Amino acid sequence: MAIKAGERMPAGKFKRMTKEGPKDLTTDELFKGKTVVLFSVPGAFTPTCDARHLPGFVQLADQIRAKGVDTIACIAVNDVFVMNAWGKAQGVGDKVLMLADGNGEYAKALGLELDASGFGMGTRGQRFAVVARDGVATRVEVEQPGQFKVSAAEAVLSQL
């Protein structure tokens, strides 16, 4: 069952790249006491994700933060090294926190996994955006297959 607005974000952890190398980041560290926009893409460097989804959040990061958002985080079922390289290629800097859900465990915990084996990509996360306040989802926007509307940075900004 997919997470819904009003429900607590499930416990879990991600990998993120630091100056000291890969480190774990728990959901408590990510969400506790903060307003977070967490958006998911099916894969780093994939067409819509690379050309529109991540760049939109980078471009609108200041406006999103001005609405009271503490952290903007991007997750994908990719390893931490790929997420780090993608962040560098997109020039995210400190605007978007790039988080690896390498085994898809968090996508599954959210009930938002995607079987992309037909494309040779295995199990991934669906394209979605969640706004969470102190660990509780206040908005959950999941794209229909092949769509890119409700999880786009512009759509999220308009709902804050």
Q: For tokens 């993120």, name the residue.
A: 16
What are the CA-CA distances from residue 144 to residues 58, 82, 130 (Å)?
A: 23, 26, 15
Rg of the chain's alpha carbons, rounded to an integer? 14
Alpha-helical segments (H) within 18-130: 27-31, 47-48, 54-65, 80-90, 105-110
**Three-state DSSP class for residue 140:** strand
Q: Which residue is catalytic, options 37, 49, 92, 107?
A: 49
Considering all CA atoms of the chain, what is the largest pairwise distance in Å, rounded to the nearest integer? 40
49 as an active site residue: the answer is yes
CA pair distance 60, 12, nearest whole angstrom = 27
Instruction: Cite the DSSP H helix spans in 1-71.
Output: 27-31, 47-48, 54-65
Give me the active site residues, please.
49
